[in-house]
Amino acid sequence: MTTGKTLYDKHIDSHTVCQLDDDGHVLLYIDRQVLNEYTSPQAFSGLREKQRKVWRPSTSLAVVDHVNPTAPNRIALINDPGGARQVSYFGENCHDFGIELFDVLDKRQGIEHVVAPEQGFILPGMVIAAGDSHTTTYGALGAFGFGIGTSEIEHLLATQTLVYKRLNTMRVTVEGTLARGMSSKDIIMALIRRIGASGATGYAIEFAGPGIGALSVEARMTICNMAVEAGARGAFMAPDDKVYDYLKGRERAPSGELREQALARWQDLKSDEDAVFDMDLVLDSSDLAPMVTWGTSPDQAASISDTVPGPESYDTPSQRRDVERALYYMGLTPGTPLTDIRISHAFIGSCTNARIEDLRAAADMVGDRKVAEHVRAIIVPGSTAVRDQAEAEGLADIFIRAGFEWRQSGCSMCLAMNDDVLEPGDRCASSTNRNFEGRQGAGARTHLMSPVMVAAAAIKGHLTDIREMTEEA
Amino acid sequence: MEPFISVTGTAAPMLAANIDTDVIMPKQFLKGIDRQGLDRGLFHGLRFQEDGTPDPSFILNQPAWQGSRFLVVGPNFGCGSSREHAVWGLQQLGIRALIGTTFAGIFYDNCQRNGVLTIKLDPERHQQLADVISNPERNQITVDLEQQIIALENADAVPFQVDTLKRDALMRGLDAIGTTLERQAQIMAFEQRHLAQNPWLK
Ligand code: SF4
C-alpha cells in the first residue's frame, strides 16, 4: 500500500540528488542560501585554504545584520574592532567569490530573515539552508528552510548540496481564530510551552488548519521563525493565495509568464490527503491568552493572567532544579502575579517580530500614551525598508512622541552582539525569540512576548494584560 | 579532522536540561574570523568568576574532572543559536564525545563535522551512566566507536549506536567536501534537470 506524501517529503524528494545509505541520508540540493558576517568567515577561509570555488554564487545573498550598530544616525564605521573586522572580511569574501552583498548602508539592509522574503528571494517549493537557526522562518512561504553551522556553509558554498538526514514529520493543526489583540506569537509560544523546548527535536513541523489560513503571511513567519525554539529543524505551511499575493511585484520573485508557470507548479505544494505524520497535534487558538515567559527557556512560559510557578509544580527532580535555577536567575518568587513584574527595558525588534505589521500593531497600542518614566524603550525595525515604510506611515512619529528610541535596523538587542547590550539585573520585555541566560547581556533578564504586549508593558512599566488595556482605551 | 576510534579519559556530568549555545559559547567570543582561542570562551560564564579566576564550583574546575574528555549532558544540549563556535570551543578544550539523551539538531550536525562524537542513549541507560561517572572514583571511561560501546570500570559496558555513514566519516576523519565533490557530475546533472523544471529558480 502506498500512502500520500507530506509537504516535507515533497520538498526533500524533489531536491534529492542521490540517496547515500539506508539510514535516511541523502545528498540534498539547496536552492538558496543567506549569509551573515558572523557565522560565515571561517567557511570562506576554508574555501580559500583549499582553493575551492563557490558552486553557484547567484544562489547566495549576503546581509550584514548581527554586529552592526543601530544608532539612529547610521554610519558605516563600527567602533568594535572584532565586529568591524568581520564586516570588512565579509565584504572581501563576497567580492572575491562573486556574491551579492547588502552592506550596512544599503537601503535593502536588515535582519536576514526579514530581508530575504522582502526581496522575493524566497519562493514556495525552495529548499534553503543558512548559517542561522531562524532560517525556519521561510516555511511561511511554502519553502523549506533550516539552519546550519559554519562547516556546512562551506560545504554548501562549495557543492550546492548538503549531506542531509530525513526528519520525522509533525503536523500541528491550529483550530479557531485569535481573539482581538492576540497574535501569532501567542500561538507559537503556547505550542512551545506545551511540547517543550525539545518537543520537536528531530521533526519538521507542518502548521495547518483554519487558524493558520486566517493569518497574514508576516504573522505566519513569526510562527515558523520561533518553531526552532521547540527544537524543530524546519517548519512550514502550504502556500496559498495570500503567499502568492505577498510575492507579487517583489524584486526577485518571478513575474509575467514565469510567474504563471511557477503558480501552476506550486499548486502541488501541500500534503496529500492520505499523508501520514509521525505526530499529529491540535491547538485551539480561540481560547488562548497572551503569553509571556517567566524563565530562561522559551518553554518556561505562561498566560499573562497566571502567577510565577514554583518548582513543586514540576514532576521530576531535574525539572525542579532547572526551574529553581531559572527563578534565581530571573529574580522571581513563585506565586507573584506575572502582571506585577516591573521592567526596566522594552525592546521591539528581531526577525520574529519587527515587520511592518508588528510595528503597526504596536503603534496602535501606543496611541497617545507615553512610555513609563523608569523604562527605556527601544524599537529596531526588522529592515531598513520596514523602517522607511514605518516613517512614511507615521508610525515612527507615534513611537517617538511616546518616548521610544527609534533606531536603525539589525539584530541589535536580540542577541546583543553589537553595542545594544543590557546591564546585569536589567529586566526587558522583549519581542524576540530567546530568553536564555545572558542572551541580551550578562545577567540581564528577558521576558518574551508579542510586540503589542511589549508596547503595553513599556507604557505601564510592568508586564501587562493587553486585554485590560484595550478595554480601558 | 582527528579520527575517532577509541578514546579513554574522564567523563564529567553536566546534567541540566537545555544548555544552549549562548551558554556554551557566549557572544563576546564570536567576533573572530578564525577559530582560535575559543577554549577560553567555553562555558565562560560558568567556568570563571567575575575577576577571571576559575569558579571552583564548576564541574570542569573540580580536581576530579579537570581535563575531562567526555561530557555526560542533559536533554536538548546545544539548543539555540547555530554558532559552530560552541563546538570548536569544546574541541579546543579537548572534549572528544558528548553523551546525552537528545541533542539539538544543528549542534548535533556541527559536532559531527568537527569530529566530536555525539552519543544518544535511552534515558534509563543515560541515568545509570551519569550515576557512575558522578562518582570521582569511577569517572574514567573508554568510548570505543569501532565496537560502539562505552566501557566502564567495574560495571557492564554500555552499548550505543551511530549511523554507519557518520561512524565511517568519524573513524576515518574524512573531508566531507572532498567526498561530496566526487559526485560533481551527478550534482550537475541534477541541477540542470531541476532548473529546467523550475526555471524561476535560476
Ligand atoms: S534577530 Fe535575533 S534571532 Fe533573528 S537572526 Fe538576528 S540575532 Fe538571530
In terms of pTM, does the model score above 0.90?
yes
Confidence of residue A80 (pLDDT cuts 50, 70, 90): confident
Q: Which residues 126-145 of chain A have a CB within 8 Å of chain B?
A: 126, 131-133
Contact at CB, B74 and A318, closer than 8 angstroms:
yes
CA A225 – CA B151 distance, rounded (Å):
42
Q: How high is the pLDDT of residue B98?
A: 98
Compute the average pLDDT of residues B125-141: 96
Cell reading at A351? 526577525
Q: List chain A residues with CB under 8 Å of B29.
A: none
Angle at A33 between CA A32 and CA A35, to 5 degrees: 155
CA A310 – CA B74 distance, rounded (Å):
21
**Full set of structural domains in chain B with CATH:** 6-174 (3.20.19.10)
3-state helix/strand/coil string of B33-79: CCCCCHHHHCCHHHHECCCCCECCCCHHHCHHHCCCCEEEECCCECE
> Ligand 1 — pocket residues by CB below 6 A?
A 65-66, 111, 113, 132, 134, 350-351, 411, 414-415, 433
Contact at CB, A322 and B83, closer than 8 angstroms:
no
CA B104 / ligand 1 centre spacing (Å): 18
Q: How high is the pLDDT of residue A473?
A: 47
Residue pair A90/B32 in contact (Cβ under 8 Å)? The answer is: no
CA A210 – CA A272 distance, rounded (Å):
17
Q: How high is the pLDDT of residue B138?
A: 95
Q: How high is the pLDDT of residue B154?
A: 82
Q: Which of B27, B31, B109 sits opposite A149 (nearest CB)?
A: B109
CA A376 – CA B150 distance, rounded (Å):
53
Residues A218-246: pLDDT tens digits?
999 999 999 999 999 999 999 999 999 99
User: Counting every residue, how long is chain A?
Assistant: 473
Residues A82-125: pLDDT tens digits?
999 999 999 999 999 999 999 999 999 999 999 999 999 999 99
Element (H, E) at B109: helix B105-113
Q: Return the higher-pLDDT residue of A452 and B154.
A: A452
Amino acid present at B193: R
Measure Cα distances from B147 to A80, B7, B160, B161 in Å: 49, 12, 9, 9
Cell reading at B83? 554558532
Residues A266-316: pLDDT tens digits?
999 999 999 999 999 999 999 899 999 999 999 999 999 999 999 999 988
The b-or-e profile of A253-268 (16+ CB within 10 A means b, else e) is bbeeeeeeebeeebee
Q: How high is the pLDDT of residue A143?
A: 98
DSSP assignment string, A124-192? TT-EEEESSGGGGGGGGGT-EEEE--HHHHHHHHHHSEEEEEPPEEEEEEEES-PPTT--HHHHHHHHH
Residue pair A302/A332 in contact (Cβ under 8 Å)? The answer is: no
CA A436 – CA B19 distance, rounded (Å):
9
Q: Write out the E strands in A211-326.
A: 235-236, 279-284, 291-293, 301-303
pLDDT at A145 over 80: yes
Write down the CATH superfamily of domain A7-165. Answer: Aconitase, domain 3 (3.30.499.10)
Write down the CATH superfamily of domain A291-472. Answer: Aconitase, domain 3 (3.30.499.10)
Domain A168-239+271-287 fold is Aconitase; Domain 2 (3.40.1060)
Q: Which residues 243-282 of chain A have a CB within 8 Å of chain B?
A: 254, 258-259, 261-262, 265
Q: How high is the pLDDT of residue A471?
A: 58
pLDDT at A472 over 70: no
pLDDT at A1 over 80: no
Confidence of residue B175 (pLDDT cuts 50, 70, 90): confident
Cell reading at B40? 577560553
Domain ranges, ordered by start, for chain A: 7-165, 168-239+271-287, 291-472
Residue pair A435/B81 in contact (Cβ under 8 Å)? The answer is: no
Compute the average pLDDT of residues B55-61: 97
Tell me if domain A168-239+271-287 and domain A291-472 are identical in fold.
Answer: no
CA A415 / ligand 1 centre spacing (Å): 7
- Complex confidence, ipTM: 0.94
CA A295 – CA A328 distance, rounded (Å):
9
CA A302 – CA A294 distance, rounded (Å):
7
CA A162 / ligand 1 centre spacing (Å): 23
Residue pair B144/A122 in contact (Cβ under 8 Å)? The answer is: no
Q: Which of B17, B184, B186 sits opposite A318 (nearest CB)?
A: B17
Contact at CB, B176 and A155, closer than 8 angstroms:
yes
